[in-house]
Amino acid sequence: MNTVPRSEPLSALDHKSIAHRYQQVRNLTVGLCRTLTPEDMTVQSMPDASPAKWHLAHSSWFFENFLLAPHLKGYRPFDPQFSYLFNSYYFTLGSMHPRPERGLLTRPGVDEISRYREHVDEHMHTLLEARNGEPDLTFLTTLGINHEQQHQELLLMDIKHLFSRNPLKPAWRELPAPEPAATTLLKFISRPEGLLAIGHAGSGFAFDNETPRHRVFIQAHSLANRLTTNGEYREFIRTGGYATPELWLSDGWATAQREDWNRPLYWNEDMTKEFTLAGERELDLDAPVCHLSYYEADAFARWAGARLPTEAEWESLAADQPEEGNLLESGRFHPQAAAAGANQLFGDVWEWTASSYAPYPGFKPLAGSLGEYNGKFMINQMVLRGGCCITPRKHVRASYRNFFYPQQRWLFAGLRLARAA
């Protein structure tokens, strides 16, 4: 495998703390599974989801294949067959078990995967101690940490979907009740036109798809001061939003009809309750609407006489804001109503933008197999910004570009309205 070019951004962490940060993140992943049974961790609820134990194994596979195998002399894989079982989409590293069939892997079991994680952790600490301070190794370890944080979020998305299919409506964990908050009046923040720089500024870690920083011309516009709420979205439904084809993109209307969509994923039929990671709860009308596809978000925006923001518009507003909000560390694991003065730019729900996921001008993927991480997915998907209530705090920044297919709904996604000036 090629080494990482020195031009790539390096971690803001100093080299002495990288091993500690590595173990913190690894421990958190295991902690998220604390209330799960082995049965919970084996089942796959749909082709887009993965079993929890697969996430535990794949994140270890990443460190084994991109750090230990090429960089630790004499390293021997825990089990050579795991290279096939837990590869995700890195075709340059070999073939892989079909994604829709991950739930058929009753073996290896959870205990063996735990031993796999311990094996990888032990050897990672040996590697980090032996080669402390090497910039390429620091970058690769930081990339692996951020990759694992992505899988922490995916793990919770997948568990929520799995539990929602169970008639018992089980809770992943007992969670605090939503904090009461007065409804924040919807206002629009005027933004001037101008030539602005977006993309990663070069300080600290970033994925390759956030680079290079470049200038874009933004027309004058305005952005909502908060996220769209459950109450607002319920009004869209009650006034016929799902029965009005002129509000929908053609592909969105076809998808909604085929899938029989008439409300957000996880809402009950009478739109008074929703399924959460704490089980079924009363629908909080002031909380951000969540688990919308891009098509639903776009249709709502049209109904509201507005549109979705572009990712450049979103970033231009978020760039000077603190990266704070209802994120994973808040312990709520569910969107919350906006507090007075909060703009909800970070946390609560990922925000669909009107921007297709495409390379920035001059984009260059990482060298070698890591070039498969982001670049090859830059088609047929839409960009989301801002993080959500299950995104780790140290994993978000204004330049972060998340991406999903427009029909997908199991991610924690909602919207913020935008308007022309």
pLDDT digits (tens, 9 = 90+) for 361-396: 999 999 999 999 999 999 999 999 999 999 999 999
- Nearest-CA neighbor of 65 among 392, 365, 372, 374? 372
pLDDT of the residue at 184: 86
Mean pLDDT of the chain: 94
Residue 330: its pLDDT value, please? 96
Q: What mean pLDDT do residues 336-356 have?
A: 93
pLDDT band at 10 (very low <50, low <70, confident <90, very high): very low
Beta strands 188-191; 221-224: pairing state = antiparallel
Taking the model in full, what pTM does it have? 0.94
Dump strand ranges (E) for 201-292. 214-218, 221-224, 273-276, 279-282
Q: What is the pLDDT of residues 147-171, one digit of tens each?
A: 999 999 999 999 999 999 999 999 9
**What CATH fold (topology level) applies to the domain 188-420?**
paralog of FGE (formylglycine-generating enzyme) (3.90.1580)
Given CA atoms 14, 16, 22, 25 in this order, what sign does their dihedral have? negative
> 16-20, 137-141, 187-191, 301-305: lowest mean pLDDT where?
16-20
What is the residue extent of each domain of the chain?
Answer: 15-164, 188-420
pLDDT band at 5 (very low <50, low <70, confident <90, very high): very low
pLDDT in the model for residue 12: 42
Contacts of 382 (CB under 8 A, 6+ apart): 294, 352, 353, 354, 355, 356, 357, 403, 404, 405, 406
Query: Distance from first CA to last CA of the chain, Å, rounded?
Result: 50
Convert the pLDDT of each residue in 47-75 to its tens digit. Answer: 999 999 999 999 999 999 999 999 999 99
| Mean pLDDT computed over 281-300 | 97
User: What value does the mean pLDDT take over residues 130-159?
Assistant: 95
Assign residue 402 a region (left: φ > 0; alpha: ψ between -120 and 50; beta: otherwise).
beta
- pLDDT greater than 70 at residue 216: yes
Model confidence at 323: pLDDT above 60: yes
Model confidence at 187: pLDDT above 90: yes
Segment 82-118, tens digit of pLDDT: 999 999 999 999 999 999 999 999 999 999 999 999 9
CATH class for the domain made up of 15-164: mainly alpha
| 57-84 as b/e: b if 16+ CB within 10 A | bbbbbbbbbbbbeebbeebebbeeebbe
* Two structure tokens written together for 113: 């995967």
